[in-house]
Amino acid sequence: MMKRKARQSKNKARNAFSDKSQTYLHIHAHALFSSLGRIVKNTFTSVMTMLVMAIAISLASGFYLLIDNMQQLTGDIESTNKISLFLKPNVSDKSGRTLAEKIRQNKAVDKVVLITKKQALKEFKEYSGFGEALNVLEVNPLPTVIQVLPKNTLDDLQAIESLMMEFKHFNQVDFAQLDMQWVRRLQTMMQIMQRGVLILTLLLGFAVLLITGNTIRLELQNRRDEVLVAKLVGATYSFIQRPFLYTGFWLGFLSGIIAWLLVSIIMLLLQSPIEELSLLNGRAFELSYFGFFDIISLLSITSFLGVLGAWIVLYYQLQEIKPK
Counting contacts by CB under 8 A, is residue 232 touching other proteins? yes
Closer residue to other proteins in complex, CB, 19/276 = 19
Closer residue to other proteins in complex, CB, 168/224 = 224
Counting contacts by CB under 8 A, is residue 225 touching other proteins? yes
**# residues near other proteins by CB under 8 A:** 24
Counting contacts by CB under 8 A, is residue 233 touching other proteins? yes
Please check whether residue 287 is in contact with residue 274, taking contact to mean a CB–CB distance below 8 angstroms.
yes
Site for other proteins, residues 35 to 74, rule: CB under 8 A: none
* Amino acid code (one letter) for 22: Q
Site for other proteins, residues 10 to 29, rule: CB under 8 A: 16, 19-20, 22-24, 26-27
Counting contacts by CB under 8 A, is residue 235 touching other proteins? yes
DSSP-assigned letters across all residues of 154-202: --SHHHHHHHHHHHHTSTTEEEEEEHHHHHHHHHHHHHHHHHHHHHHHH
Q: Any idea what DSSP says for residue 235? A: -
Collect all residues with Cβ–Cβ distance below 8 Å to 139 and sequence separation of at least 6: none
Closer residue to other proteins in complex, CB, 16/189 = 16
- Residue 151 — φ and ψ, nearest 5°? -65, 155
Closer residue to other proteins in complex, CB, 21/297 = 21
Closer residue to other proteins in complex, CB, 165/228 = 228
As measured in angstroms, the least distance from the Cβ of 52 to other proteins is 27
Q: Which of 6, 229, 265, 268 is the binder for other proteins (CB under 8 A)?
A: 229
As measured in angstroms, the least distance from the Cβ of 220 to other proteins is 15
Secondary structure class of 84 (helix, strand, coil): strand
As measured in angstroms, the least distance from the Cβ of 235 to other proteins is 4
Whether the bond between 323 and the residue before it is cis, its omega within 30 degrees of 0, is yes
Q: Which of 78, 110, 126, 226 is the binder for other proteins (CB under 8 A)?
A: 226
Counting contacts by CB under 8 A, is residue 236 touching other proteins? yes
Secondary structure class of 120 (helix, strand, coil): helix
Q: How far is CA 127 from CA 17, 53, 277, in A?
A: 78, 44, 12
Collect all residues with Cβ–Cβ distance below 8 Å to 162 and sequence separation of at least 6: none
The binding site for other proteins (CB under 8 A) comprises 16, 19-20, 22-24, 26-27, 225-226, 228-237, 239, 322-324
